[in-house]
Amino acid sequence: MTAPRQILPGRTYLVTRRCLLRHFFLRPSKVVNQVLAYVLALAAERYGVQVHAYCVLSNHLHLVLTDPHARLPAFQQFLAAFVARALNAHLGRWEYFWAPCTYSAVVLGSPEDVISKAAYTLANPVAAGLVHAGHLWPGLWSAPDTVGTTIRVKRPDHFFEREGLLPEYVDLELKVPAGFSSTDEFREQLRAELARREQAARDAIPTFLGVARVKAQSPFARPRHVEPRRRLSPRVAARDKWRRIELLQQLKTFLTDYWEALRVWREGKVDPVFPHGTYLMRVAHGVACAPA
């Protein structure tokens, strides 16, 4: 059983989602890019999520975002479902689109950690040996200078009904995360950390696949190398030792209280109070939760 998530308002995350069997279902193309941009903008608007950075590689995506209203699971469900349905229709397939494991959502402990994970996200195409610089990536990729701006996305002609209920245009605003004095400060720090990571990747990688070969790949192909299995799946990221310990202790306390409340709830004798941050049991079963 997957451990429950503690969903608290205002938290910032690095979110990752992978395609089934690492297939290249998200391989860059006009249709794929527009579907992803439109659904991301729609989901962010609908659930009040603030997007800071994103990168979509051929078989997985990364998002750095803040969840002001503690609605991350609903945001992710909407995003994953619409992308899967639209791109499955585009690819002429009906099976599962995403890997059976759920999405990863790593809590970022400080503004420094947000910069680190945003730069990690944007450096992904270089670190994966695909292109020499992130801005060359033909897929969905948010340049540091787009933070603080709004991108207008048109509804794709593919899959989405022209006379349907969804808007023809939706705006995706890339917002500055909390903890930065200005847009310029965030952009400058992100550009510097991204440049450092990209240079380190170029120093370590002898050759890059290149845009033409990326686009020539079949969406039904997958990487030849085997991905390491049974690795740790972190829930928090914090460079500061004491902040990391604090976040881990909060998570440990939440899980202990959650499992005890779930045990009592299953017995059905009394109505337990679940810990603050409980999501699924609150939404699906209406259980009482402790205040913040």
Q: pLDDT by residue (tens digit) across 16-64?
A: 999 999 999 999 999 999 999 999 999 999 999 999 999 999 999 999 9
Give the span between the Cα atoms of 171 and 57, in whole angstroms: 22
Q: What's the pTM value of the predicted model, to 2 decimals?
A: 0.95
49 plus 89 within the same structural domain: yes
Residues 281 and 145 in one domain: no
Q: For residue 225, is pLDDT > 70?
A: yes
194 inside domain = yes
pLDDT band, residue 164 (cuts 50/70/90): confident
The neighbour count for residue 272, using CB atoms within 10 Å, is: 19
Q: Give yes or no: residues 49 and 166 share one domain.
A: yes
The answer on 258 and 173 residing in a single domain is: no
pLDDT digits (tens, 9 = 90+) for 121-146: 999 999 999 999 999 999 999 999 99
CA-wise closest residue to 290 among 260, 249, 266, 268: 260
In a domain? residue 38 = yes
Residue 157 inside a domain? The answer is yes
Comparing CA positions, the residue from 102, 138, 132, 111 lying closest to residue 52 is 111
Position 229 confidence tier, pLDDT thresholds 50, 70, 90:
low
Q: Are residues 229 and 253 in the same domain?
A: no
**Cα–Cα distance measured from residue 171 to residue 186, given in angstroms and rounded to the nearest whole number:** 21
The domain that contains 130 carries what CATH number? 3.30.70.1290
Please give the mean pLDDT across all residues of the chain. 95
Note whether 182 and 269 are same-domain residues.
no
> Domain tally for the chain?
2
Q: What percent of the chain has pLDDT over 70?
A: 97
Task: Report d(CA 219, CA 26) in Å as an integer.
Answer: 7
List the domain range (segments joined by +) for residue 284.
243-289
**What pLDDT does residue 230 have?**
59
Rounded-to-integer distance, Cα 277 and Cα 9, Å: 8
Amino acid letter, residue 63: L
DSSP 61: E
